[in-house]
């Protein structure tokens, strides 16, 4: 039986690579549901190629175009946020890959968990915003969450076979982004064009900017807490410019296990799809004749303040990570539209953290309200 996979965000970087994995293993996997936010042309192209059971476009204004373009195919066409939550509960769906960017991924992920669908999680913000809530839901519904982020997949792979052996430390590696060696003065004049050129990874614009500002790594620290049940002080970040060591785990005896590989997101995607098995793949291998230097250094949280702000939010808990996420989404959008400078993004996030009301034990409704209010306050701070 082929595994039927629903891909939330099939037109993004992770979604398109997930389809490459499905294409490479047509005997194992099938794209059952494809969804997109705005990129209707690419969604049409994907639907014609993979012929899924259903497609969803979140932007309802594009429904007509999508429906018309697929009229000759037996593909169900839906639109809107509610439809995203409904398609993942379909009885035929075996796994849901959540590859949507940002806060928008939270609600459909929750719907999938409640429907007992195993989650291949590529949407950081789901655990960043509402980690406690998601963990509780997954526990109650006995729904596995398999990490797709290369760093968390690496930790997950390092823990395979370790049973109940105590984790002393989770060590997340960071490339350092394109501005690793820039001074604060240089960072002040960084343009969006420079920030969108990541040295090692090919990602969407939002995640690329987050990577350049190290907020991406801050989010991964938050995510690691919920995925692996560790305390903030047990999560260390090391800068590793070559992006060959994807992350490490240090155990109680001081031994460290690391997962290495070429920087290629298809590997962690396929591992989540096939877990606990490893399937043959055509992805590039490390050539040790070329790869003869691996370096590690401490991150500079004075120049890259987002990482420090993320740790602060994690220590404070409650709705603080949700505040950081919402403020960051607005700040990144403003940077991409040349409304704020590169360093100003951290200032804006810090000010939003100071202005928003803290809720120690938030409900889902509290998260929704926190997200909405933070975005409003952040827009005010920018304008």
Q: What is the pLDDT of residues 149-160, one digit of tens each?
A: 999 999 999 999
**Average predicted confidence (pLDDT) for the chain:** 95
Q: Does residue 165 sit in the same domain as residue 307?
A: yes
Split at pLDDT 50, 70, 90, the class of 102 is confident
Contacts for 49-55 with beta carbons within 8 Å, 24 or more apart?
A: 50/19, 50/22, 51/75, 53/90, 53/92, 54/78, 54/87, 54/90
Query: In 3D, which of 284, 295, 168 has the Cα closest to residue 228?
Result: 168
Q: Tokens for 37?
A: 């936010």
The verdict on 87 and 176 lying in the same domain is no
Q: Is the pLDDT of residue 38 over 70?
A: yes
pLDDT score, position 123: 87
For residue 315, what pLDDT is reported?
95
Q: Please check whether residue 329 lies inside any domain of the structure.
A: no
For residue 276, cis peptide bond before it (omega within 30 degrees of 0): yes
Structural domain ending residue among the three candidates 275, 296, 316: 316
Q: Is 130 found in the same domain as 33?
A: yes
- How big is the CA angle at 183 (ends 180 and 186), to the nearest 5 degrees? 100
- Same structural domain, 117 and 212: no
Domain-ending residue, one of 129, 147, 165: 147
Output 292 or 154, whichever has higher pLDDT. 154
Look up the domain containing 229 and give its range.
152-263+283-316
Is 62 a domain residue? yes
pLDDT tens-digit map of 332-373: 999 999 999 999 999 999 999 999 999 999 999 999 999 999
Which pLDDT does position 369 carry in this prediction?
Answer: 97
Please tell me whether residues 258 and 305 are part of one structural domain.
Answer: yes
Same domain, yes or no, for 172 and 259? yes
Residue 249: pLDDT band by 50, 70, 90 thresholds? Answer: very high
The CA-atom distances, in angstroms, between 353 and each of 206, 236, 305, 347 are: 20, 23, 14, 10
> Which DSSP symbol is given to 360?
S
What is the average pLDDT across 265-289?
Answer: 96
Q: Compute the average pLDDT of residues 42-48.
A: 98
Q: Is the model's pLDDT at 283 over the cut of 70? A: yes
Answer whether residue 208 is part of any domain: yes
Residue 161 domain flag: yes
Q: Mean per-residue pLDDT for 177-197?
A: 93
Domains contained in the chain, number: 2
Domain assignment present for residue 348? The answer is no
Position 365 in a domain: no
Q: Which two tokens stand for residue 361?
A: 């034990």
Q: Of 147, 163, 188, which residue constitutes the final position of a domain?
A: 147
Cβ(14)–Cβ(105) below 8 Å: no
What pLDDT, on the 0 to 100 scale, is given for residue 124? 84
Same domain, 115 and 255: no
Percent of the chain with pLDDT strictly greater than 90:
91
In this predicted structure, what is the pLDDT of residue 276?
Answer: 96
- What dihedral do alpha carbons 136, 141, 143, 145 form, nearest 10°? -20
Q: What is the dihedral of CA 186, 192, 198, 202, to 10 degrees?
A: 170
Same domain (yes/no): 247, 114: no
CA dist 358 and 364 (Å) reads: 15
Residue 377 lies in a domain: no
Residues 50 and 81 in one domain: yes
What is residue 274's predicted lDDT score, i.e. its pLDDT? 97
Asked if residue 179 and residue 103 are part of one domain, the reply reads: no
pLDDT in tens, 68-99: 999 999 999 999 999 999 999 999 999 999 99
- Please tell me whether residues 55 and 204 are part of one structural domain: no
Question: What share of the chain in percent tops pLDDT 70?
Answer: 99
Burial state string for 64-96 with b = 16 or more CB within 10 A and e = fewer than 16? eebeebbeeeebebbbeeebbbbbbbbeebbbb
Domain containing 71 — which CATH number?
Answer: 3.40.50.720
Q: What is the mean pLDDT of residues 21-27?
A: 97
Please report the pLDDT score of residue 201 as a whole number.
Answer: 62
Are residue 109 and residue 218 in the same domain, yes or no? Answer: no
19, pLDDT greater than 70: yes
Q: Does some domain include residue 271?
A: no
Query: For 202-235, what is each residue's pLDDT tens digit?
Result: 667 888 899 999 999 999 999 999 999 999 999 9
The pLDDT, as a whole number, for residue 85 is 96
Reported confidence tier of residue 200, pLDDT bands at 50, 70, 90: low
């Amino acid at each position: 039986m082929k595994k039927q996979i629903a891909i939330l965000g099939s037109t993004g970087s992770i979604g398109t690579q997930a389809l490459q994995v499905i294409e490479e293993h047509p005997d194992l996997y099938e794209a059952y549901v494809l969804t997109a936010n705005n990129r209707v042309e690419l969604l049409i192209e994907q639907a014609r190629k993979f012929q899924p059971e259903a497609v969803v476009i979140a932007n309802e204004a594009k429904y007509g175009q999508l429906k018309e373009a697929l009229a000759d195919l037996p593909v169900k066409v839906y639109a809107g946020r509610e439809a995203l939550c409904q398609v993942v509960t379909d009885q035929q769906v075996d796994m849901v890959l959540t590859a949507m960017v940002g806060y928008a991924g939270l609600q459909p992920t929750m719907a999938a968990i409640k429907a007992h669908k195993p989650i291949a999680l590529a949407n950081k913000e789901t655990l960043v915003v509402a980690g406690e809530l998601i963990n509780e839901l997954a526990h109650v519904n006995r729904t596995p969450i398999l990490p797709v982020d290369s760093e968390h997949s690496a930790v997950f792979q390092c823990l395979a076979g370790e049973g109940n052996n105590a984790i002393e430390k989770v060590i997340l590696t960071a490339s350092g982004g394109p501005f690793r060696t820039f001074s604060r003065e240089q960072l002040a004049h960084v343009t969006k064009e420079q920030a969108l050129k990541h040295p090692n990874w090919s990602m969407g614009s939002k995640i690329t900017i987050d990577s350049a500002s190290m907020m991406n790594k801050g989010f991964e620290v938050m995510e690691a807490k919920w995925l692996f049940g560790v305390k903030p002080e047990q999560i260390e970040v090391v800068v590793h410019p070559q992006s060959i060591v994807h992350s490490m785990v240090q155990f109680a005896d001081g031994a460290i296990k690391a997962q290495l590989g070429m920087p290629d997101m298809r590997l962690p995607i396929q591992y989540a799809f096939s877990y606990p098995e490893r399937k043959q793949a055509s992805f590039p291998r490390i050539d040790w004749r070329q790869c003869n230097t691996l370096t590690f250094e401490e991150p500079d949280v004075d120049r890259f303040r987002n990482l420090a702000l993320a740790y602060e939010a994690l220590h404070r808990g409650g709705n603080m990570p949700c505040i950081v996420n919402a403020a960051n989404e607005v700040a990144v959008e403003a940077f991409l539209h040349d409304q704020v400078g590169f360093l100003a993004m951290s200032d804006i996030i810090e000010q939003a953290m100071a202005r928003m009301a803290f809720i120690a034990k938030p409900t889902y409704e509290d998260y929704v309200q926190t997200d909405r209010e933070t975005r409003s306050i952040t827009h005010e701070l920018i304008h």
